Amino acid sequence: MTVIIAQDTPPAIRGILKRWFIEPRPNVFVGTLNQRTHKKTIEYILRNSEGIGLLVISSAPNCQGYVIESRGETDRKGVDMSGLWLVAEKWAEPEVS
């Protein structure tokens, strides 16, 4: 299963995504893709919509059962802590003195 949360999705990209996904809420797409189609879909979105932010959650054979990918500018940031992927809502950069 794959969940894509997009920001500012152009209508043409939304139309393409609706081929493989359902859209339960605006700019949230849920579907089941094989690995090749998943990769090609994400590449197509990024290639044809400049400045779009994506948060992609996909099934994976790891301890959590999923993997989180972030592409472009998003409101949240994925963080790998001891092999577990977490999503940080607020991110504070360390101060350089």
Task: Please tell me the pTM assigned to this model.
Answer: 0.75
| CATH numeric code, 2-88 | 3.30.70.240
Q: Cα separation of 69 and 54, whole Å?
A: 8
- Say which range, 28-32, 54-58, 69-73, has the weakest mean pLDDT: 69-73
Q: What is the pLDDT of residues 76-89, one digit of tens each?
A: 777 777 877 777 77
Which pLDDT does position 94 carry in this prediction? 67
What is the phi-psi region of residue 72: left when phi exceeds 0, alpha when psi lies from -120 to 50, beta otherwise?
Answer: left
Structural domain spans, the chain: 2-88
Radius of gyration, CA atoms only, the chain: 14
DSSP string, 31-59: E---HHHHHHHHHHHHHHSTT-EEEEEEE
Q: CA 55, 34, 60 angle in degrees (round to 5)?
A: 60
Q: What is the pLDDT of residues 38-63, one digit of tens each?
A: 888 888 888 887 778 888 888 888 88
